[in-house]
Amino acid sequence: MKVAIYSRVIDFDQQGDVQQLFDELARNNIQSVIYYPFFETIRSSFAKTDSVQVFHHSDELDESIDFVISLGGDGTILDTVTLVRNKNIPVLGINFGRLGFLAGIGRKELHTAVRALVNSTYVIDKRSLIHLDSSKTLFNGMPFGLNEFAIHKTDTSPMVKIHTYLNGEFLNTYWADGVIVATPTGSTGYSLSCGGPVVFPESSSFVITPVAPHNLNVRAIVVPDTNIISFEVEGRSDHFICALDSRKEIVEKKIQLAVRRESFTISLVRLNENNFLQTLREKLSWGLDTRN
């Protein structure tokens, strides 16, 4: 078995857990290749790094890689998606961050996680992505995201008017700071914090959620992900912000934008004991009542 390991950066007090992961992989005869920028930040702190294999970019993740292990929080998982792309390599997220909604395996479960890979006692969740079509190439040729696409006004500009269409038919004009189109996976993220509903991961849908709308009667709406959602943006500023997950670009308001479901999915590895409802209860305190 061969795994690729990706991370942004690891805090000093987390280095012992990273070393434990390397030891567990070696103990189970699992070959690993490490993302080079991450390796450069840790090589002086870890033993036996002389013979470590590294990779630099997505093209080096070929069919020999069985899993990608993401060390960090949910933002690191989103970065990992841009590396895996359409290669269908399952991603195992180990939470070194704060919330860990997507990276649902804790640092104390490293041994259990590695044994699950060895014994195939895990579950693969297929997660849909959102794809951006635009009249100008954006996001370095990676116009897809796991969580959401968003349109925002620039920091100092007044609110914008976002005319929104489903398959060419007018839906609504949002007078707001922005609009979010979230996947089911992203429904528990930014969209949720703006008042959007929680949608189960297997739901074939998008959630359209306005950001700070200037209308009391405008709320989030759930639409089938078979729709193509297009936008026209008006505002006093000549530019606005487009965001895909944690990536953003400033674009001119005359640009043409539309989103649809991506043609490929991302595979997330979870342990058998974990499921979506359990994660909702543990991470977001779903249904928590202190009276009980």
In DSSP terms, 107 is beta-bridged to none
The answer to whether 41 and 49 have CB atoms below 8 angstroms apart is no
- Report the distance separating Cα 192 and Cα 185, nearest Å: 11
What residues contact 62, with CB distance under 8 A and at least 6 apart? none
Query: Over 70: is that where the pLDDT of 21 sits?
Result: yes
- Report the distance separating Cα 106 and Cα 125, nearest Å: 18
- Report the distance separating Cα 83 and Cα 225, nearest Å: 24
pLDDT band at 47 (very low <50, low <70, confident <90, very high): low
Q: Would you state the pLDDT for residue 173? A: 97
The position carrying tokens 């249904």 is 287
Query: Over 70: is that where the pLDDT of 2 sits?
Result: yes
Q: CATH number of 2-120: 1.10.150.670, 3.40.50.300, 3.40.50.10330, 3.60.21.10?
A: 3.40.50.10330
Write the pLDDT tens digit of every residue in 228-276. 999 999 999 999 999 999 899 999 989 999 999 999 999 999 987 778 8
What's the whole-number mean pLDDT along residues 65-80?
94
Query: Which runs of E-coded beta strand occur in 18-159?
Result: 31-35, 53-55, 67-72, 91-95, 105-106, 122-134, 144-145, 148-153
Query: Over 90: is that where the pLDDT of 9 sits?
Result: no
The secondary structure element, H or E, covering residue 211 is: strand 205-211
- Which residue ranges make up each domain of the chain? 2-120, 129-263
**Main-chain phi, psi angles of 148, to 5 degrees:** -165, 160
> What is the model's pTM?
0.92
- Report the distance separating Cα 81 and Cα 45, nearest Å: 27
Q: Would you state the pLDDT for residue 41? A: 85
- Report the distance separating Cα 189 and Cα 29, nearest Å: 37
- Report the distance separating Cα 258 and Cα 276, nearest Å: 29
Write the pLDDT tens digit of every residue in 83-137. 999 999 999 999 887 777 888 788 888 889 999 999 999 999 999 999 999 999 9
Query: Over 90: is that where the pLDDT of 280 sits?
Result: no
Q: Helix, strand or coil for residue 28?
A: coil
The answer to whether 8 and 42 have CB atoms below 8 angstroms apart is no
Lowest mean pLDDT among 6-20, 139-153, 221-235: 6-20
- Report the distance separating Cα 126 and Cα 84, nearest Å: 14
Q: Helix, strand or coil for residue 249?
A: strand
Q: Would you state the pLDDT for residue 50? A: 58
Identify the sign of the CA torsion 96, 245, 282, 211.
Answer: positive
pLDDT band at 176 (very low <50, low <70, confident <90, very high): very high
Q: Would you state the pLDDT for residue 49? A: 57
- Report the distance separating Cα 18 and Cα 38, nearest Å: 12
Q: Would you state the pLDDT for residue 192? A: 95
Could you tell me what percent of the chain has a pLDDT over 70? 97
| 129-263 has CATH 1.25.40.10 classification | no
The residues assigned a catalytic role are 74
